[in-house]
Amino acid sequence: MERLGHEIISLNIGNPGLFGFRAPETMRLAMIENLGASEAYCHQKGIFPAREAVVMQQQARGVQGVSAEEVFIGNGVSELIDLVLRAMLNDGDEVLVPGPDYPLWTAAVNLNRGKAVHYPCRPEDGFVPDPQAVEALITRRTRAIVIINPNNPTGAVYPRAVLERLARIAEKHSLVVLADEIYDQILYDGAEFVPMATLVQDTLCATMSGLSKVYRACGYRVGWASFSGRLRSAGELLTALELLSSLRLCSNVPAQWAVQTALGGYQSIKELTAPGGRLHDSRAAILDAVNASPYLQLQAPLGALYAFVGVDASALPGFDDQAFALDLLEQKHVLVAPGVSFNVPYRNHFRITNLPHAATLRTVFQRMDELLATYAAGAQADTGAARVVEAAGRFK
């Protein structure tokens, strides 16, 4: 459609750089100043200053027993997800993954010969998991549980009590906790982020984060995995992960020099999420537009860069998220991600990012309501026609 000259508003990917966000200047300067030290391969786990910066952040948050030896730097968190699962899984091993999920987790489990088992995070529960329902899914083949907090795609931020119960369940069943915390500082309305590693003591916990979201540097491709908890029983897994890391020699070296500056410097993300900040105002525009719509509903996101918007099934019976996404693209030139792509059983949700300016988002929701109004009119026409046919049958 773009090749035909159409201007598409793309809301399907959380890519800050495409919406005018810049990484902090200090990070760019750190890379430039260390270019001379970036031309050789580094250690397969990453450069020491970057790994030590992750350790310092974890220690400042109250995580005990972490050293640079338990930190791996990767080409984004995506690579580390793949490497950790490849090191961990045997054929048929199960991994508990939230539903809705960040689809890369499900794909990576399946590609590494495992089975993704989705535990429900229902809209009516604020997209927060029920620990009892999670535990009911555990079998003898379950190896790990994925916890995405703050959550993508829903923006849910899990309460401490829920995370504590999930930690105890993981410890009880000796599950590895895979904590995807890439949005850890993107919070709204006073939401509290609780690092999973501060709660997990008697099993292994892998905390995954990076520069992509909080520091608006997706293209730098720098992520990390920090292991804590019951490290004494994790030697075989960590050795396998180091061997796999060696297989690709090392991750991108120049951008690793930005990690220490990013984690130890001024956290500018707080300006963006505070009242008056761009992310705060864009989120507010989404909430206002949904509240004004006769067709849409939303559990207000408390973190991350997304809104997982629902469509009122009573107002639009038979609504299909994938058909809607295609219609919205072709007729209104707006691109969203249908909810079904996030591994949920229902078909009345879609995900958008709040990265655009508030004015753009107001335009987007106006176009959405126009399309949904045509759906509603069509449904009313179909209902009216059916009643006419039914009446004619009675008087035949």
| C-alpha distances out from residue 363 to 168, 320, 356, 366, Å | 46, 22, 11, 5
Burial class (CB in 10 A: 0-12, 13-18, 19+), 350: buried
- Region 159-183: mean pLDDT is 98
Cis peptide before 150 (omega within 30 of 0): yes
Backbone angles phi, psi at 357, to 5 degrees: -65, 155
pLDDT of amino acid 265: 86
Reduced to 3 states (helix: H, G, I; strand: E, B; else coil), residue 355 is coil
Quick: pLDDT tens for 350-363: 999 999 999 999 99
What structural domains does the chain harbor? 9-17+271-394 (3.90.1150.10), 25-264 (3.40.640.10)
One-letter identity of residue 339: G
Quick: pLDDT tens for 226-243: 999 999 989 999 999 999
Quick: pLDDT tens for 200-214: 999 999 999 999 999
CA atoms of 182 and 224, how far apart (whole Å)? 10
pLDDT of amino acid 389: 41
pLDDT at 383 over 80: no
CA atoms of 205 and 207, how far apart (whole Å)? 6
Average pLDDT for the chain: 93
pLDDT at 188 over 70: yes
What six digits make up the tokens of 70? 């338990």
Quick: pLDDT tens for 10-60: 999 999 999 999 999 999 999 999 999 999 999 999 999 999 999 999 999
Residue located via tokens 């609504």: 319
pLDDT of amino acid 65: 86
Record the pTM: 0.92
pLDDT at 384 over 50: no
pLDDT at 172 over 60: yes
What six digits make up the tokens of 285? 């525009």
pLDDT grade for 379, boundaries at 50, 70 and 90: low
pLDDT grade for 382, boundaries at 50, 70 and 90: low
List beta partners, residue 210: 223
Residues of the chain with pLDDT > 70, as a percent, come to 95
Quick: pLDDT tens for 60-90: 999 988 999 999 999 999 999 999 999 999 9
Reduced to 3 states (helix: H, G, I; strand: E, B; else coil), residue 102 is coil
| C-alpha distances out from residue 102 to 78, 80, 233, 381, Å | 11, 15, 29, 38
